[in-house]
Amino acid sequence: MPELPEVETVRRGLAPVLEGESFVSVEQRRPNLRFPFPERFVERLTGARIEALGRRAKYLQADLSTGEVLVMHLGMSGSFRIEGDVAGAFHHPRGKHASHDHVVFAMSNGATVTYNDPRRFGFMQLIPRRDLGAHPLFRDIGIEPLGNELSGGLLATLFAGKAAPLKAALLDQKLIAGLGNIYVCEALHRTGLAPTRAAGELDAAAADRLAATIRAVLEEAIAAGGSSLRDHVQANGELGYFQHNFDVYDREGEPCRRPGCGGRVARIVQSGRSTFFCPACQR
């Protein structure tokens, strides 16, 4: 699922269940996901308290009482399921892919939090808090699109001199962190910018509009509980519904939703990924 809005939705679902609670037991059912689990993963977590559950880009970061941070990435197909009689937690039946339940956290409040990931592109790491910023995962990561830094001026600076198309520049996690294929397509359509335009050619006015639109799209998606494609759900089992608001993503051949445009959504491939856009109103 997960681009920034989906990860943020998961964070908000898990935070009330995890923050202030300790790991009573941890079950690690396989040696690796995308990467091997850290050495002594279970031992290093058991008994630790989660002080806060944060997010950086598409990474969840659980601050532990041990001084380490549990970093979790959902990859393409990772999800969490909360079970147990806990305030704020929704009990819902396990999905049909129980064989892909890879990690089970039993918490001090009685909640069970299970990580499921059929494709296993997700991973978990334990990193000392003081080393987090210098860690390869975060060292070169770009700005938070919902943070204060994002502005038209900064976008223009980041994109200056770049011949890469806007689509590729926006997907580059070293520039802006957290945007994925869906929200890049949506933001470009709303801004009326062609995904093929060279990033370095963005003028100041367009950069201002693009920055504001990125923020708006992400905030709207978070407010909607993220986008649910296929069977992806929030931690509480509810479906996000932002996918119904897509203007272009996965709408090849369908009418452009911009009032009065009359164009049709096209699909091209850029950097090996599908780009959906309206050739009539995106210039």
Partner DNA sequence: ACACGACCCTGTTCGC
Partner DNA sequence: TGCGAACAGGGTCGTG
Closest by Cα among 231, 234, 228, 222 to 80: 234
Answer yes or no whether residue 75 interacts with DNA by CB under 7 A.
Answer: yes
162: contact with DNA by CB under 7 A: yes
Amino acid at residue number 77: S
User: What x-and-dash track marks residues 11-40 binding DNA by CB under 7 A?
Assistant: ---------------------x-x------
CB 206 within 8 A of CB 213: no
Choose which of 100, 190, 209, 251 interacts with DNA (CB under 7 A).
100
Reply yes or no on whether 8 is catalytic: no
Which of 230, 253, 259, 260: binder of DNA (CB under 7 A)? Answer: 230
167 catalytically annotated: no
73 near DNA, judged by CB under 7 A: yes
- Residue 106, SS3 per DSSP: strand
- How far apart (Å, rounded) are the C-alpha atoms in residues 63 and 124? 13
Q: Is 3 a catalytic residue?
A: yes
Q: Number of H helices and number of E strands within the chain? A: 7, 10
Residue of 55, 56, 58, 167 with catalytic role: 58
Which residues between 237 and 266 bind DNA (CB under 7 A)? none
Of 3, 6, 21, 83, catalytic: 3
3 state SS for 29-94: CCCECCCECCCCHHHHHCCCEEEEEEEECCEEEEEECCCEEEEEECCCCCEEEEECCCCCCCCCCC
CA neighbor of 16 nearest in space, from 117, 104, 93, 90: 90
Contact flag: residue 168 with DNA (CB under 7 A)? yes
Minimum distance between the CB of residue 46 and DNA, rounded to whole angstroms? 26
Binding site for DNA (CB under 7 A): 1-3, 6, 32, 34, 57-58, 73, 75-77, 96-97, 99-100, 118-121, 137, 162-165, 168, 173, 180-182, 199-200, 227-232, 269-274
